[in-house]
Structure 1
Amino acid sequence: MNVLIIGATGYVGTAIDEALAVRGHHTIGTARSETAHQRLAARGTASVSADAAKPGTLGPAVRSADAVVYAVSITDDDPWTVEKRALRAIAKALAGTEKTFVYVSGAWVYGATGSVPATEDSPLNPPRSVMRRAELERESLAMTRIGVRALNVRPGIVYGRGAGIPAMFVQSARERGAATVVGDGHNRWATIDAGDLGEFVALAIERGRPGRAYNAVNDDHYTMRAIAEAASRGAGAKGAVALVAPELMGHYGECLSLDQCVSSERAHEHLNWRPSRPSIIEELERGSYADALIA
């Protein structure tokens, strides 16, 4: 299958690209610059000049693919409007084809869940900074009404490969001797390893049911403080943490301080997916983040 990945050079897009290639799919990544073309070529991925921020460039690339994955994060003064235009351009190109479209969203759309695990049927209550993510999810699934096999994937906080949001704990521990914790740190995080997420998306393309959302998270839900302490230990700061008020982090702090429990039971059943990589605690203490420090 020829799979177009919009955002193939990014953190999540790279993992998706690798997982699809392992499963025998031919991947094509969008590239906005010559540097991006070169990065994709270096790992054996075909590339096409297209940019989600310029929806008019997407049509030809989308039409030539058997499946399309949207895994890009747009940095713009109004990213939600830009993404909405991109999704509508994709919908126009895919209309009536019965081809697959996967929109990579995020578990933050549930807001704070408390101790009752959120399922895909739980109401969405996103914090202000990702409020319009729910609107984009609706745009994605609306494609099923025009002959597109569309579905959404909602990953937890992605970790692994020495990068992603958890890297901020490592950086603060290295630079200031303590990992920064937003709030009191007692809130739980829904998480997933980048490699596991890549495999999840590949399975969603192959087995996912149109019109559905799928939560992509590990079964464990560690507190932010436990995660920060693990990062601190891995960085040689002996588990030291420093508390910072969420307000000082702006809207980002509101997301990081969400208390979330999320269920991936639907993915277990529909996709036969199970996470196989180390937990975020193990990865921070003695995995890729610790390896990056040694290097």
Structure 2
Amino acid sequence: MSRIIVIGGTGHIGTYLVPALVDQGHDVVSVSRGLAKSYIHNTAWDRVEQVTVDRQEEEKAGTFVERIVGLKPDIVIDLISFNLASTRPLVEALRGKIEHFLHCSTLWVYGHTAAVPAGEDEPLNPFGEYGIDKAEIEKWLMHEARTTGFPATIFRPGQIVGEGWTPITPLANDKAAVFSKMARGEEIVLPNLGLETVNHVHATDISQLIQRAITNRSVAIGETFNAVSDTALNLRGYAETIFTWFGFEPKIAYAPYEEWMKLQPTPEEAHHSWEHFARSSCLSIEKARRKLGYEPAYSSIAGVKESITWLIENGKVEKPKAWK
């Protein structure tokens, strides 16, 4: 088994990934700021070496890379690198010292896609700082993997769901109050015809893909994989399903995009929604299925329902009136 360093190990992906790696017999080190705990209790965390590091501060001081190399990893999983200036020094320091480097990217690298579902070879057309920066990391990492042999694999998560997390809602935002409104049977307003899409993924399925990439390293190195559920949801179908699950006939109105944006509580909330439905993400997992044997345990709607159930049980979303 391998010594695996998970950078950002106590976040939502790490909550599911770190215990799974421990249970497989790996020696796991979780590197984080120590400000958050895993969302779900698992006794496997008792066997995890926890290293408290503020990455941004140590990168400024020039000590972060030395810290990671000093942990003597066989495999590094970087869940929290957001620009090439952060990724490049770590890769250079690890070159020739590790078996596998796995980088967490994002479905936002696609930007606008010409065809759906979008496969990994679809040309990237990112917009916005986050997507552009991640795409730059991807391009550089794949060049290093294919020209210098650096053992890199990239995975692109969708909109993450699971216990402890508010899923992107039918209004394409992360406001749990949307679900409370639906739980009261109140009308919601969707943009345009509600046909924009979101592509959720349960964090345990991201964990599955990472584990399969490690197990199938020979075919995973030098490759990029979409880490999403098997189908995307359009906003209308998503809303109709949740209303019905809550025990109500769907109560949905529609407004042209410009009018809809003005209906939102703040410009910031309106922009956050726009960031999602402007991309209308819908990705293919055919490559991950074929090369890694990846098979999501959760559909998009099943993962969303688990998240909402947790929110209701923890008092963050109102219990639907129709539920006893």
Query: Partners of 2:214 and 2:188 in 1: how far apart?
Result: 37
Q: Which 5+ residue runs of structure 2 have no aligned equivalent?
A: 255-259, 315-324
Q: Does the C-alpha gap of structure 1 residues 9 and 162 become closer, same or farther in structure 2, counting only changes over 3 Å?
A: closer
Give 1:75-94 correspondences, 5 Å limit. 80=82, 83-94=83-94
Query: Partners of 1:11 and 1:238 in 2: how far apart?
Result: 33
1:118 match: secondary structure: coil
Matched, 1:46 2:52: no
- CA-CA distance at 1:134 after TM superposition: 0.4
Q: Which 5+ residue runs of structure 1 have no aligned equivalent?
A: 74-79
- Tell me if structure 1 keeps the 8 A contact 2:103–2:154: yes
Deviates more, 1:166-175 or 1:85-94: 166-175
- Which residue of structure 1 lines up, in the alignment, with residue 118 of structure 2? 118
Identity percentage over the alignment? Answer: 26
Query: Partners of 2:285 and 2:274 in 1: how far apart?
Result: 25
Instruction: Give the alignment partner of residue 76 of structure 2, picking from 64, 68, 84.
Output: 68
Instruction: Give the alignment partner of residue 280 of structure 1, picking from 268, 280, 300.
Output: 300
Opposite residue 128 of structure 1, the aligned amino acid is: G
2:197 match: secondary structure: coil
Opposite residue 79 of structure 2, the aligned amino acid is: A
Query: Partners of 2:181 and 2:223 in 1: how far apart?
Result: 43
Q: Normalized against structure 1, the TM-score is what?
A: 0.82
Q: Does the C-alpha gap of structure 1 residues 171 and 3 become closer, same or farther in structure 2, counting only changes over 3 Å?
A: farther
- Which residue of structure 2 lines up, in the alignment, with residue 174 of structure 1? 180
1:152 match: secondary structure: strand
Q: Does the C-alpha gap of structure 1 residues 36 and 163 become closer, same or farther in structure 2, counting only changes over 3 Å?
A: closer
- CA-CA distance at 1:232 after TM superposition: 4.6
1:48 match: secondary structure: strand
- Which residue of structure 1 lines up, in the alignment, with residue 287 of structure 2? 266
- Tell me if structure 1 keeps the 8 A contact 2:199–2:232: yes
Q: Normalized against structure 2, the TM-score is what?
A: 0.75
Query: Partners of 2:38 and 2:200 in 1: how far apart?
Result: 31
Instruction: Give the alignment partner of residue 261 of structure 2, picking from 214, 231, 245.
Output: 245
Q: Does the C-alpha gap of structure 1 residues 121 and 27 become closer, same or farther in structure 2, counting only changes over 3 Å?
A: same
- Tell me if structure 2 keeps the 8 A contact 1:181–1:224: yes
- Tell me if structure 1 keeps the 8 A contact 2:101–2:153: yes
Query: Partners of 2:21 and 2:127 in 1: how far apart?
Result: 32
2:291 match: secondary structure: helix
Q: Does the C-alpha gap of structure 1 residues 233 and 27 become closer, same or farther in structure 2, counting only changes over 3 Å?
A: farther
2:55 match: secondary structure: coil
Query: Partners of 1:262 and 1:268 in 2: how far apart?
Result: 13
Q: Does the C-alpha gap of structure 1 residues 234 and 86 become closer, same or farther in structure 2, counting only changes over 3 Å?
A: farther
1:18 match: secondary structure: helix
Instruction: Give the alignment partner of residue 64 of structure 2, picking from 57, 61, 69.
Output: 57
Query: Partners of 1:101 and 1:268 in 2: how far apart?
Result: 20
Opposite residue 311 of structure 2, the aligned amino acid is: A
Q: Does the C-alpha gap of structure 1 residues 288 and 85 become closer, same or farther in structure 2, counting only changes over 3 Å?
A: same
Q: Does the C-alpha gap of structure 1 residues 13 and 170 become closer, same or farther in structure 2, counting only changes over 3 Å?
A: same
CA displacement, residues 213-260 of structure 1 (integer Å, 9 cap, x when unaligned): 111122222212322344455567764456643994226523333223
- CA-CA distance at 1:169 after TM superposition: 5.6
Query: Partners of 1:137 and 1:20 in 2: how far apart?
Result: 25
2:198 match: secondary structure: coil
- Which residue of structure 2 lines up, in the alignment, with residue 290 of structure 1? 309
- Tell me if structure 2 keeps the 8 A contact 1:66–1:100: yes
- CA-CA distance at 1:3 after TM superposition: 1.1
Q: Does the C-alpha gap of structure 1 residues 37 and 239 become closer, same or farther in structure 2, counting only changes over 3 Å?
A: closer
CA displacement, residues 7-43 of structure 1 (integer Å, 9 cap, x when unaligned): 111112222223322333222111224x458999973
Opposite residue 47 of structure 1, the aligned amino acid is: Q
Deviates more, 1:5-14 or 1:111-120: 111-120
Greater C-alpha radius of gyration = 2
Give 1:140-151 correspondences, 5 Å limit. 140-144=141-145, 145-151=147-153
Q: Does the C-alpha gap of structure 1 residues 62 and 37 become closer, same or farther in structure 2, counting only changes over 3 Å?
A: farther
Matched, 1:25 2:51: no
1:174 match: secondary structure: helix
